[in-house]
Amino acid sequence: MTIRPLIAGNWKMNGLRASMMEFEAMVAGASKVTGKADLLVCPPTTLIAAFAAKLSGSKGVTLGGQDCHPKPSGAHTGDISAEMLVDAGASAVIVGHSERRADHGESDSLVRQKAEAAWRAGLTAIVCIGETQGHRDAGQTVDICRGQLQGSLPEGARADNLVVAYEPVWAIGTGLTPTAKDVEQIHQFIRETLTARFRDEGSRMRILYGGSVKPSNAKELMGVANVNGALIGGASLKATDFLAIAADCP
């Protein structure tokens, strides 16, 4: 079965209004790569509405948030709801990124509530999982991923409302990546887990790889079985790199 790849950029806490030029370059170049993959940019929340205004009907790039609160509104200072992301122009949201899990102590059950909030608002939830270096050294990669999948994915997940991103924590921002063989094994495990739980839908869900994806390694990583795109941090901040990665999808 062919699954259309998704190339998603997670800008993290980077980007000011001056970043509009870089985003415009992505939109301008999108038509050259949309034959290969869908493009999603997740800028900081402050930029979503301004970026959405620039899209004005262009379908080449969609926008996403980087986190959402489980509730639709209320007394939660500093938080952003899934409904607010939709209102700003987003169609997806990343939940359970390892930086949220580590910096904000987010548990699997909170991540699951956030994914449910995303669905309530009509957003696609991109749920992140992945082991730390310590887990890896202890041979616990599969166990950690199994637990995170079980705990973070709500019932009722479908191929059109859920994306799983496998992001080994030790590969994020380090320039290190697992071997293609390692990526193949863990993505195969994720696929089997999704299919066992969600049946047909699980067989069609996108599983992204994330962690130091760059133009120089994209071809190899994107060519691995059950890798249906990438979640990209640093290299998604530059239009040329982001588009080059998309162009390398099979």
Ligand X SMILES: O=C(CO)COP(=O)(O)O
Binding site for ligand X (CB under 6 A): 10, 97, 167, 172-173, 210-213, 231-235
Has 10 been labeled as part of a binding site? Answer: yes
Per the CB < 8 A criterion, the answer to whether 48 and 17 are in contact is: no
From the CB of 106, what's the least distance to ligand X, in Å? 14
Q: Binding site annotation covers 234?
A: yes
Q: Is 91 annotated as a binding residue?
A: no
Q: Provide the angle, in degrees to the nearest 10, between the axes of the packed helices 239-247 and 215-222.
A: 30
H or E element, residue 92? strand 92-95
Identity of the residue, 207 or 235, whose beta carbon is nearer to ligand X in the bound complex: 235
Q: What is the DSSP letter of 153?
A: S
What distance in Å separates the CA atoms of residue 203 and residue 189, rounded to the nearest whole number?
12
Q: Which residue is nearest to ligand X (CB)?
A: 233
Q: Is 175 annotated among the ligand-binding residues? A: no
The whole-angstrom separation of Cα 60 and Cα 34 is: 6
Q: Is 187 noted as a catalytic residue in this protein? A: no
Q: Which residue of the set 22, 83, 97, 187 is catalytic?
A: 97
Q: Which helix (DSSP H) or strand (DSSP E) does residue 139 occupy?
A: none
Catalytic residue flag (residue 104): no
Cβ 249 to ligand X, closest distance in Å? 16
Please indicate if the annotation marks 233 as binding a ligand: yes
| Of 172 and 239, CB closest to ligand X | 172
Minimum CB distance to ligand X, residue 219 (Å): 16
Q: What H or E segment, with its residue span, contains residue 130?
A: none
Using an 8 Å Cβ cutoff, are 198 and 190 in contact? Answer: no
Residue 165 pairs with which residues in a beta bridge? 128, 208
Which residue's CB is nearer to ligand X, number 198 or number 245? 245
Q: Which is nearer to ligand X, 83 or 125 (CB)?
A: 125
**Active centre residues (catalytic):** 97, 167
Annotated binding site for substrate: 10-12, 173, 212, 233-234
